[in-house]
Structure 1
Amino acid sequence: MDKQTDNKQKHASAYWRENLKYLAILLPIWFFVSYGAGIIFKDWLDQFQIGGFNVGFWFAQQGSIYVFIILIFVYVRLMNKLDKKYGYDK
């Protein structure tokens, strides 16, 4: 294997490692908000209110969707930066 191919492979591996690091951070946030706040901690969160609705109910019905959409935009922003960093933005 020549040196250029080896460098490209290392470059791609570093890119993929960083991508997986982002996923390892964002997916647990999504899980905690959707499953934790919407199901596990729902009863405890229901003692608080947002806009007249119990917070546990709100997370189960809408909050987890909002957080998911925000996480999508965060992931897109992170990946755009990552693409520029590794030269895949062309």
Structure 2
Amino acid sequence: MKLVTIFIIILLACTYPAAMSRILSKKSSSSVDEVFQQWMLEYNRTYSYSTEMKIRKEIFKKTLESIENFNSTAKDNKLIYIYDLVKN
């Protein structure tokens, strides 16, 4: 029973990034702000100045686009790994 539980936990942990990338790829460009806010909360990020936040958001947006492009290519080429957002 323990082995089955461990297997299920590992399986869920492995599928989480793929599920998140699908959620992110379905987001419209107008909801990038929401995803950015969620990312800031998840990784406890704060920015002192609004200009810094704008710069960080633009970097985040470009990174998100790169992730979506990579994952799209990976899916087409049947690669078995997923590129996802992580804490810097």
Structure 2 length-normalised TM: 0.36
Larger-gyration structure (1/2): 1
Considering fraction of residues, name the structure with more helix: 1
TM-score by length of 1: 0.36
